[in-house]
Amino acid sequence: MQTAAFSVEKQLFLAVDTGNEYVQLKQMPALPYMPLYAYASKLTFHDTDMYQIGVSTLREHAAAASIKRTLAAFLQNRSSSDPPDFSVWYEGIGLHGSGALAELAGCYQVLEQSCAADFQLNRQQSVRIVDWEAHFPRFHTVLRNMEDLSGTLALHKIEANGLPGVAAVLRLAGLPHVLGTLALGFHLSAALERAVEQLLHAFSLYTYQQDAGIRPTAAWCSTPKDAWAQEASSEELAVPWTMLSQQYPPMDIDAELVALKQTAQRNGWSLHSVPLTHELLDELHLHGVSVRLDQLPMSSSGYEDSFWFLPQECPLLPSMKYMPDGRQDTELSRLYHENSKIHEHQRPDDFIFPPSLIDPHIQRVISNGVKDFRYAPVRVKLPDVRERRTVPIEEAILRRRSTLPLAAEPMTLEELSHLLYFSYGVTAIARNRQEGIVNPLRAAPSGGALYPVDVYLLIEHVEEVPQGMYYYHPHEHELLLVSGRYRAQDVKDYVNASHRLEKAACTLFFVGNFRRNQWKYRERGYRIVNLDCGHLGENFILVSSGLGLVAHGLMGFTDDYFNRLLQLDGSDEALLYMMCVGRGTH
Q: What is the pLDDT of residue 437?
A: 73
Confidence band, pLDDT 50/70/90 cuts, at residue 81: low
Does residue 213 or residue 373 have the better pLDDT? 373
Torsion region of 570: left, alpha or beta (phi above 0 gives left; psi -120 to 50 gives alpha): left
Q: Say yes or no to pLDDT of 574 above 80.
A: yes
Cβ 391 vs Cβ 487: under 8 Å: no
Q: Which residue has the higher pLDDT, 580 or 316?
A: 580
Backbone angles phi, psi at 169, to 5 degrees: -125, 130
What are the tens digits of pLDDT across the range 371-406?
888 888 899 999 999 999 999 999 999 988 887 788
Chain-wide mean pLDDT for the chain?
80
Give me the pLDDT at residue 182, please. 87
Per-residue pLDDT for 5 more than 50?
no
In the chain, the amino acid numbered 142 is V
Residue 42 and residue 50 in contact, taking contact as beta carbons nearer than 8 Å: yes
Flag the least confident range among 31-35, 275-279, 327-331, 365-369: 327-331
Name the nearest CA neighbour of 55 among 200, 256, 186, 187.
200
Task: Quote the CA–CA distance of 234 and 119 in Å, as a whole number.
Answer: 14
The whole-number pLDDT of residue 82 equals 55
Taking the CB of residue 104, how many other CB atoms lie within 10 A of it?
Answer: 26
Distance CA 94, CA 74 (A): 12
Nearest to 12 by CA among 69, 50, 57, 51: 69
Kind and range of the H or E run holding 262:
helix 253-266
Dist CA 322 CA 319 (whole Å): 8
Looking at the chain, the domain(s) classified CATH 3.40.109.10 span 341-584
Cα atoms found within 13 Å of the Cα of residue 78, Cβ hemisphere only? 18
- In the CATH scheme, what is the code of domain 341-584? 3.40.109.10
Closest of 507, 580, 508 to residue 550, by C-alpha: 580
Nearby residues of 119 by Cβ (< 8 Å), 6 or more positions away: 125, 158, 160, 167, 182, 220
**Looking at residue 471, what is its pLDDT?**
96
Say if residues 275 and 61 touch (Cβ distance below 8 Å). Answer: no
Q: Give the pLDDT score at 394.
A: 92
Greatest C-alpha distance within the chain: 94
Residue 30 is predicted with a pLDDT of 61
Q: Are 580 and 504 in contact (CB under 8 A)?
A: yes
Mean local confidence (pLDDT), 92-108 = 90
Q: What pLDDT does 436 receive?
A: 65
3-state SS class at 551: strand
Residue in 452, 475, 486 with CA at minimum distance from that of residue 562: 486
Write down the pLDDT at residue 120.
Answer: 67
User: Bigger pLDDT: 384 or 45?
Assistant: 384
Give the Cα separation of 419 and 103 in Å (integer): 60
Residue 382's nearest CA partner among 344, 411, 349 is 411
Whether the predicted pLDDT of 470 surpasses 90: yes
> Residues 457-476: what's their mean pLDDT?
94
The side-by-side arrangement of strands in the sheet containing 238-240 is: 220-224, 177-184, 163-172, 151-160, 126-130, 238-240
Q: Which of 400, 403, 401 is nearest to 499 (CA)?
A: 403
**CB distance 267 to 298 below 8 Å:** no
- Per the CB < 8 A criterion, the answer to whether 496 and 551 are in contact is no
Highest mean pLDDT range out of 130-134, 140-144, 206-210?
Answer: 130-134
- Tell whether the model's pLDDT for residue 306 goes beyond 60: no
B/e letters for 113-149, b = 16+ CB within 10 Å, e = fewer, are: bbbbbbbebeeebbbbbeebeeebeebeebeebbeeb
Kindly state the average pLDDT of the residues 349-365: 74
Distance CA 240, CA 47 (A): 52
pLDDT above 70: residue 312: no
CA-closest candidate to residue 535, choices 459, 458, 446: 446
Q: Strand, coil or helix: what is 378?
A: coil
Give the three-state DSSP class for 582: strand
More confident residue, 47 or 13: 13
Share of the chain above pLDDT 90, in %: 31
